[in-house]
Amino acid sequence: MLKIENLSKTFFPNTPNEVQALRNISLTIAEGSFTAIIGTNGSGKSTLLNAVAGTFEPDKGKITLAEHDITDWQEFKRATLIGRVFQNPFAGTAAEMSIAENIVLAMHRGEHRSLRIAVTKKAREAIADKVRALKMGLEDRLDNPIGTLSGGQRQALTLLMATWLKPKLLLLDEHTAALDPKSAAKVAELTKQIIDQEKLTALMVTHSMQQAVDLPDRIIMMHRGQIVEDYHGDMKRRVRIPDLYAAFDRVQKRELFDEAVAQMLEGQYT
């Protein structure tokens, strides 16, 4: 289980560029659940994921993951519990190293670095099995540098690496956004398959309403550093793409209304 309590982060505080990226967010993610986070550009989705991963220190708030209070843990220590996949297919893998070597590195994540990367016969068999399950024909190319693969193939492997050690939490930040539609659909399908099979707890940021409706069992909508919608259970099962667009509209209208009221009040008091 992931529990986020009263989490806030302001960038450039007390300057004209001040951004309240997270405003007192509280959120509990059940173990073994798959949640999509949607929201307009700049609404705080990546900041929320980064706060959980420990990329920066929040101004306030508490984060608990799998019974550990990780609030004061540094990023490398959190990485022992958290697997991540980013938007950029080139992040998270070493281009010159082979597929097998990259995966062996992932298998030993969190261990002491002096360890030699050796692709043993046993490891090779395990790797070939899991790579075959991706159904991308990559099992015959285990010794090829990972840099020679397409973006979609690389994201599929990054996903496999991020989940190899069954992390307590999987964080996906628009991990299909840089792929062509066919590869994006394939990686989305693999994502769902791996999360279901390994019974992982996952948070996935996406701008694809199709993915948000099809893949997870919960959808959270963020706006201006806050959670403004939360579809789960039956409500999530019933929600369709037009409902999500309608929610975006509602949020925007509410904001325009608030701004108009603020301007009127300003007019009154100045």
Q: Interacting stretch for ligand ATP, rule CB under 6 A, among 36-44, 106-114, 117-125, 232-240?
A: 36-44
Q: Which stretch binds Mg ion (CB under 5 A): 3-11, 39-47, 158-166, 262-270?
A: 39-47
Binding segment for Mg ion (CB under 5 A), chosen from 43-51, 59-67, 112-120, 187-195, is 43-51
**163 in contact with Mg ion (CB under 5 A):** no
Least gap, CB of 121 to ligand ATP (angstroms): 43
Of 33, 34, 35, 43, the residue at the interface with ligand ATP (CB under 6 A) is: 43
Does 11 bind ligand ATP (CB under 6 A)? Our answer is yes
Indicate the residue among 46 and 176 with the shorter CB distance to Mg ion. 46
In angstroms and rounded to an integer, the radius of gyration of the C-alpha atoms of the chain is 20
The mark string for 200-219 relative to ligand ATP (x by CB under 6 A, - otherwise) is --------------------
Q: Does 35 sit near Mg ion (CB under 5 A)?
A: no
Decide whether 127 or 188 has the Cβ nearer to Mg ion. Answer: 188
CB of 178 to ligand ATP, least distance (A): 12
When the beta carbons of 1 and 11 are compared against Mg ion, the nearer one is: 11
Q: Are strands 19-29 and 2-11 parallel, antiparallel or unpaired?
A: antiparallel
Q: Are the C-beta atoms of residues 209 and 245 closer than 8 Å to each other?
A: yes
Q: Choose, by CB under 5 A, the member of 33, 46, 153, 155 that binds Mg ion.
A: 46
Using CB under 6 A as the binding criterion, the count of chain residues that bind ligand ATP stands at 11
Q: Please tell me the distance from the alpha carbon of residue 52 to that of residue 66, in angstroms, as a whole number.
A: 13
The count of other CB atoms within 10 Å of the CB of residue 151 is 17
Q: Does 25 bind ligand ATP (CB under 6 A)?
A: no
Rounded Cα distance, 193 and 214, in Å? 12
Which H/E stretch holds residue 192? helix 181-198
| Residue 220 three-state SS | strand
Of how many residues is the chain composed? 270
The residue within the footprint of ligand ATP, chosen from 42, 61, 145, 151 (CB under 6 A), is 42
Beta-carbon contacts of residue 159 (< 8 Å; ≥ 6 apart): 85, 175, 187, 190, 191, 194
Min CB(41)–Mg ion separation in Å: 8
Asked if residues 12 and 19 have their Cβ atoms less than 8 Å apart, the reply is: yes
Could you count the other beta carbons within 10 Å of the beta carbon of residue 230? 13
Residue 44 contact partner, candidates Mg ion, ligand ATP, none, CB within 5 to 8 A by sort of partner:
ligand ATP
Q: Give the Cα-Cα-Cα angle 10, 12, 13 (nearest 5 degrees).
A: 65
Single out the segment in contact with Mg ion by CB under 5 A; choices: 40-48, 104-112, 128-136, 250-258. Answer: 40-48
Angle between helices 121-133 and 151-163 (to 10 degrees): 120
- Beta-carbon-side half-sphere exposure of residue 39 (alpha carbons within 13 Å): 26
Task: Report the residue from 29, 44, 159, 195 that binds ligand ATP according to the rule CB under 6 A.
Answer: 44
Please report, as ranges, the residues that interact with ligand ATP according to CB under 6 A: 11, 19, 21, 39, 41-47
